[in-house]
């Protein structure tokens, strides 16, 4: 491929540049970063679905009029970001929100002894309401906007481990209460039913004492020390799509963060 084909030509990215610029993803960046932003936008707008095989490097390079090396670098970063997965001899696929991915990317509570497990969940309540000041601030939406409030208990080996409060902007999750059951893997639900991919999460940890609600559902004494994990889940377009407060028993578990 000639050097001219390695540079962005006028009009080559016009439609997708608009999509990416609207999401605030483009600016003065290396070409591979701009290509990455355009490909991420394909996942964000649903053109590339979870579990779907994507075109190969050569096809994408031909379509976007850039070098294969540029595409390879963009796809490599997307793989590191857990947005894509390469399967030997089969190609590259959009990552799906299976239990294994959630366990190792988003669930950090680990037994002091033994292997990690994906917890079961029981929905305690699902209600709609107007966002209060704290919810509006956490989700970056106006106070009073409609939200869903989901409370569930999570267990390992039938032992209560976590009480979880999830707040979602209702405009992005219409008719959530129409589901017969809310699945254990809610990130899979967000992706498959609402086209919302959780790309990353920002968490804050602190020690708290169990309140009456925690004590009742975790079967622990009132005031018992718990680990509170305050999470803002962020979509591909950098929009906060979920606020989650998890209060966790840590008598036999710890929070594992693998820093690299």
Residues 34 and 118 in one domain: no
Residue 159 counted as domain residue: yes
Give the pLDDT of residue 234: 92
Residues 106 and 162 in one domain: yes
Q: Put residue 114 in one of left, alpha, beta given phi > 0 → left and psi -120 to 50 → alpha.
A: left
For residue 137, give its domain range: 99-255
Domain count across the chain: 2
Indicate if the pLDDT at residue 21 is higher than 70: no
Residues 158 and 207 in one domain: yes
Q: Is 136 in contact with 143 (CB distance < 8 Å)?
A: yes
Residue 260 counted as domain residue: no
pLDDT tens, position by position, 148-204: 999 999 998 889 999 999 999 999 999 999 988 898 889 888 888 888 888 888 999
Sequential DSSP letters for 200-212: EEEEEEEEEE--H
Residue 55 counted as domain residue: yes
pLDDT tens, position by position, 96-109: 766 555 545 677 88
Global pTM?
0.73
Residues 239 and 119 in one domain: yes
Give the pLDDT of residue 28: 62
Last residue of a domain, one of 42, 71, 94: 94
pLDDT tens, position by position, 22-57: 444 445 678 888 898 888 888 777 788 777 888 999
The C-alpha atoms of residue 137 and residue 131 are separated, in whole angstroms, by: 9
Provide the token pair at 41.
């936008």
């Amino acid at each position: 491929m000639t050097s001219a084909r390695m540079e962005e030509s006028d009009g080559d990215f016009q439609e997708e540049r608009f999509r990416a610029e609207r999401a605030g993803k483009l600016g003065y960046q290396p070409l591979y970063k701009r290509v990455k932003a355009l490909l991420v936008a394909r996942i964000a707008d649903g053109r590339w679905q979870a579990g779907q095989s994507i075109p190969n490097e050569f096809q994408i390079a031909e379509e976007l009029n850039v070098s294969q090396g540029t595409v390879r670098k963009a796809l490599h970063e997307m793989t590191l970001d857990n947005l894509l997965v390469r399967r030997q001899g089969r190609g590259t696929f959009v990552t799906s929100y299976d239990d294994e991915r959630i366990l190792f990317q988003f669930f950090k509570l680990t037994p002091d002894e033994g292997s990690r497990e994906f917890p079961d969940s029981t929905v305690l309540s699902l209600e709609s309401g107007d966002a209060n000041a704290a919810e509006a601030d956490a989700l970056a939406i106006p106070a009073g906007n409609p939200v869903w409030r989901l409370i569930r208990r999570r267990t390992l080996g039938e032992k209560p481990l976590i009480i979880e409060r999830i707040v979602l902007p209702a405009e992005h999750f219409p008719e959530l209460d129409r589901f017969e059951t809310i699945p254990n893997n809610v990130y899979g639900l967000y992706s498959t039913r609402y086209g919302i991919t959780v790309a990353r999460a920002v968490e804050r940890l602190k020690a708290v004492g169990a309140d009456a609600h925690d004590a009742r559902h975790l079967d622990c004494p009132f005031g018992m020390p718990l680990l509170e994990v305050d999470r803002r889940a962020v979509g591909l377009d950098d929009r906060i799509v979920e606020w989650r407060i998890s209060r966790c028993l840590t008598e036999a578990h710890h929070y594992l963060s693998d820093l690299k």
